Chains A and B, each alone.
Chain A
Amino acid sequence: MKAKIHDHTLLIFLFALAMIASPLSNWWSRLDLPWYAIFIPWALVIALAAVNQLRGSDRGD
């Protein structure tokens, strides 16, 4: 069970990396976005991490 949570952790980490430090971030940073747009992927990653952790707590990990 714990291994599953760790797998999700890695997936979320890779997702975060893709969003903020990859060619993908190079692409979206050129899109004429509003000033607050950069906070959205950050908040999304935090929300995913929170759900992952809270679900792990429910399972007693």
Chain B
Amino acid sequence: MGIELTWLFVIAISYLGLLFLIAWSADSGLLPSRLINHPLVYSLSLGVYATSWTYYGSVGLADSSGYAFLTIYLGVTLAFLLGPYLLSPILRLCRVHQLNSIADLLAFRYGGRVTGFVVTLFMLVGILPYISLQIRAVTESVQILSQQVPPNLLALGFCVAITIFAILFGARHLSPREKHHGLVVAIAFESAVKLIALLVAGVFVITQVFDSPAALNDWANSQPEMLESLYAPSRTNLWSTLLLLAFCAAFLLPRQYHMTFVENENPKHLTTAYWLFPLYLLLLNLPIIPILFAGRHLSLAIEPDFYVLGMTLTAGHQWLAILVFLGGLSAASAMMIVTTLALSYMCLNHLLLPASLSSGKPDDFYRRLLWSKRLIIALIIAAGYGFYIVIELNEGLASLGLISFVAAAQLLPGVIGLLFWTRATQTGFVSGLAGGAIVWFLLLIWPLLSPSTSSYTEVLAALPEFSDIWSLATFCTLSVNGTLFIVGSLFTTPSRDEINAAEAATESTSIAMAGSDVARSAIHYRYAMQKVLGNKVAAQELNRALAETHTNVEETRPADLQLLHDQLERNLTGLVGPALAREVLRHKRPDSKQLESPDARLLELHIEASRQQMRGMTRQLDDLRRYLRDVLRQLPLGVCSISADGRVYLWNAAMHELTGIEERVARDQPLDQLPEPWSQLLQEFAASGDAHLFRCHVPGNTRLASVNLHKADIATPAGSDETLGGQVVLMEDRSSLDTLEAELAHSERLASVGRLAAGVAHEIGNPLTGIASIAQNLLHDAANIEDNSVEIGDQADDILAQVNRINGIVRSLLSFSHADTVGSSSHEPVCVNDCVQESLGLIRLSPEVRHIHFSVDVQSTAMVKGDANQLIQVFVNLIGNACDASPDGATVCIESLIQDKQLIVTISDSGPGVDSTTREKMFEPFFTTKPVGMGTGLGLSLVYSIITNHNGKIRVDSPPGGGTCMIVSLPLLTA
């Protein structure tokens, strides 16, 4: 059962029309820009890599070489894995220097027309087999579907249609600087169609041909020899060879270069494609082996290349056959359109324009450029058709594709040199490429053309060390190419243009090429261009570059003219290629020919070499200067340098922070113009004979207590401007140091009080013991005296009670004096309730708290590990503060609870509460809200230190209605 040829023709033309509609919609803005600029669309557009060879030929290659067919995609995966090192640098060069083809890229690095010419010519010849492969695939697929023998006229019709669509897609634009959004979206759509068609075919195989995945696996497992033959090629030379060829093809084939670099809108999209594009290839290849199995299972009597079509026809599903046919058409048309576009740029810039422009008559330049491009597209497809007619190949579609892959691989040494070897020269590259091309032609093309040898068998018979022609051809071509490239480069000297291009190519940043000759004025560029491009085009290009660089036409400053020169070179490169662009701009100096004598040229070379060295030293010095400047700027010490005429030369960030004066205000100002108090301070210090000034108080400044100042004289560098001498002044903030010193002094005072208290307690203790003994005796004697015994006994009791009270005070004083001297090593189980009770005992001694009531509810069994004296000190402070804040008759509540292995003690009062500002600062040393002389501001600071030392936390809660609640949490002692 076949499909009518007419129907197939209508379907094919309608599909291509749909593609054009999609492209037109994208170009006209009908499709949302979010879709057009999506990384997925970009990654899918790279699917142009999968041509008819992938679509049809992979099954054939799998049939003959097992899993070796996967290397064509595994190699691409490897190339994209190395993207940051391989693809990103090329993309940067492509975007900065408008390098719109692989020939532009190599001509940019290995300057001159020769490079571009050789690369273009070789790529043109090398890609023809690939184009003929697409024509053959489409023609044969039509033949299988219609079950008629289509005449060569059908192939011709396909070529004409593709030519028209290629022109519509890519040659409507005049300048290749513009991106072809429509083309990218259309190619992405075709990639999606290819993937869907193959996946549907794969599902059809699994569900219809084999019934289920398990049945497919059972059938495969029942033929272990077949499985072994699939995996066996991975252990041969062919495997590595195809990996290398695919690695090169991933970015060296003209269409891959075009879609990957020229049509890239955003470098981040390439980063996404590093994994997304290999994922697309993986999905595309999943159905290949099931299709091969289906072809063998059904014993289809057609070439394995077209099993996918044959099985759909056998099953009688015409819709599936048409879907598969459209997938194949997508694969072939996408490849041919993008390839012809890429090759047309190359041919135009490197073959046609150099010849036609040097012949003069540059009238109507843009129109001629556009029609030339269209003509070239038609000629390339015609040449592919001619190759299809001439070549009779019996080894499958893959062989035609691999011929082109080996051709593309010949550019690898040149690209490696471009990225990594600055010593490489044009001579080396061109001789290497020519050598590789000759070997390629002799090994891969000649056997197809020669009537004496109809295949590669005789070639292989002559070299039995190689098991396949592709390993042999790859080894021989790259060996000859690489050797000639290295030897040729080492035996020649790089030209000035090559040195500049090599520097630009290996720089990681986007800098303009240095060393180009700059004209004396902008108008000179117009004169230079009009000789080649004509008056009108020269004026237009100059005006465009002037507008892009915001430069005036009367500009004569070298720096601005250099920018204009670089912009012109970029624009012309996009229009006529890099080699011709450089040549056009080089016409600007009629007197440059005066330097052509050998001596002058030698002198020029010496100057150039010196300039290169100086450029390197200058860069190192500049790096060092920037480093030292940053050190001074970021130094956490105020630095200001004062020039010999008394002006501020340097004012670093710390000076800004200390003085509040910004660098832009202070810079270049005389010292007496600086804001006060700094003007007077710095003037007096600069004029004084002292090199250091300590504890210098800043009058009128509330933030800074004092500063230390240091200065040194700076000698004027030899041969420099005298104002570069002067003084450097360092300013050191003493605020924190002063605070620490005050805190230390206060601690010393507290320690003295503690020692005094201890001494007093000891001295009081001895007489107190005597008084207590006497009172006891008196009480005993009173019991034996009958008269007034009750009165005496009561008095003795009073004395004993007061003695006990004094004893309690003495004990508390001793505890307080020892609080700071006990370290964390002395922590032991402590009952918090006891600490609270003892603290309350101390607090109650104060007459001010007599009218305060206490409500205590602390678990008597709650134990923590700590120092009892320090905890008493904590509670004394907190309860004391609560009492101070509470009005007479108020109640201070002390409560506790256990939560998450923490003992939480809250001390709450009914005072006025604390505001948020006070809450933030209340634990800072010397902060107090009490009147002068009533508090030191150290109480809560010490509390905070002690609680932290006990691995606890303290926080304050003060609701808006008044009252303060201090919350202390301490780790509960566990058994």
Contact = CB atoms under 8 A, between A and B. Distances in A.
A50 B736 CA distance: 51
B624 interface: no
Contacts of B235: 26, 29-30
B266 to A, nearest CB: 13
Interface residues of B, number: 37
A46 B279 contact: yes
Interface string B711-749: 000000000000000000000000000000000000000
Interface stretch (B223-231, B471-479, B567-575, B638-646): B223-231
B78 A30 contact: no
Contacts of A53: 271-272, 274-275
B959 interface: no
B84 A34 contact: no
Interface in B204-236: 217, 220-221, 224, 227, 230-232, 234-235
B85 A33 contact: no
A45 B274 CA distance: 11
A22 to B, nearest CB: 10
B40 interface: no
A6 B85 contact: yes
B82 A46 contact: no
B240 A21 contact: yes
A39 B234 contact: no
A54 B479 CA distance: 39
A53 B231 CA distance: 31
Interface residues of A, number: 31
**Most-contacted residue by chain A among B234, B275, B282, B289 (CB, 10 A):** B275
Interface in A41-57: 42-43, 45-47, 49-50, 53, 56-57
A34 B221 contact: yes
Contacts of A34: 217, 220-221, 227
Given A29-B234, A46-B275, A46-B282, A35 B289 contact: yes
A29 B220 CA distance: 16
B82 A13 contact: yes
A32 B224 contact: yes
Nearest to B273: A53
Contact of A30 (B231, B268, B276): B231
B278 interface: yes
Nearest to A25: B234
A12 B234 CA distance: 20
A20 B275 contact: no
A5 to B, nearest CB: 7
Contacts of A43: 282
A49 B70 contact: no
Interface string B248-284: 0000000000000000000010011011101100100
B90 to A, nearest CB: 16
B82 to A, nearest CB: 6
B83 to A, nearest CB: 8
A29 B233 CA distance: 9
A33 B293 CA distance: 16
Interface in B523-540: none
A57 B231 CA distance: 37
A50 to B, nearest CB: 4
A21 B220 contact: no
Contacts of B80: 49
B875 to A, nearest CB: 51
B70 A38 contact: yes
B282 A26 contact: no
Contact of B81 (A26, A30, A45, A57): A45
A12 to B, nearest CB: 6
Contacts of B276: 50
B315 to A, nearest CB: 22
Contacts of A38: 67, 70, 231, 234
A57 B269 CA distance: 11
Given A26-B234, A42-B77, A49 B278 contact: yes
Contact of A21 (B67, B85, B224, B239): B239
A9 B240 contact: no
Contact of A16 (B67, B78, B289): B78
Given A13-B82, A21-B239, A35 B230 contact: yes
Given A21-B240, A29-B234, A16 B77 contact: yes
B286 interface: yes
B77 A45 contact: yes
Contacts of B232: 29
A47 B276 CA distance: 10
**Most-contacted residue by chain B among A10, A29, A30, A32 (CB, 10 A):** A29
Nearest to A41: B74
Nearest to A9: B84
Contacts of A47: 275
B275 A50 contact: yes
Given A5-B84, A32-B224, A49 B243 contact: no
Contacts of A10: 85
A33 B67 CA distance: 13
Contacts of B285: 39
Nearest to B279: A46
Nearest to B73: A42
A19 to B, nearest CB: 9
Nearest to B216: A35
B84 A6 contact: yes
Contacts of B275: 46-47, 49-50, 53
Contacts of A9: 81-85
A4 to B, nearest CB: 11
Contacts of B274: 49, 53
A30 B289 CA distance: 18
The 7 A-B residue pairs whose C-beta atoms are closest, nearest first, are: A50-B275, A49-B275, A29-B231, A29-B234, A13-B81, A35-B220, A46-B278
20 contacts: A6-B85, A9-B83, A9-B84, A13-B78, A16-B81, A20-B78, A25-B234, A26-B234, A30-B231, A34-B221, A35-B227, A35-B289, A36-B289, A38-B234, A42-B74, A42-B282, A45-B81, A46-B77, A46-B282, A47-B275
Interface of A: 5-6, 9-10, 12-13, 16-17, 20-21, 25-26, 29-30, 32-36, 38-39, 42-43, 45-47, 49-50, 53, 56-57
Given A6-B85, A20-B74, 12 more contacts: A9-B84, A13-B81, A20-B78, A25-B234, A34-B220, A39-B285, A39-B286, A43-B282, A49-B81, A50-B276, A53-B272, A53-B274
Interface of B: 67, 70, 74, 77-78, 80-85, 217, 220-221, 224, 227, 230-232, 234-235, 239-240, 243, 268, 271-272, 274-276, 278-279, 282, 285-286, 289, 293
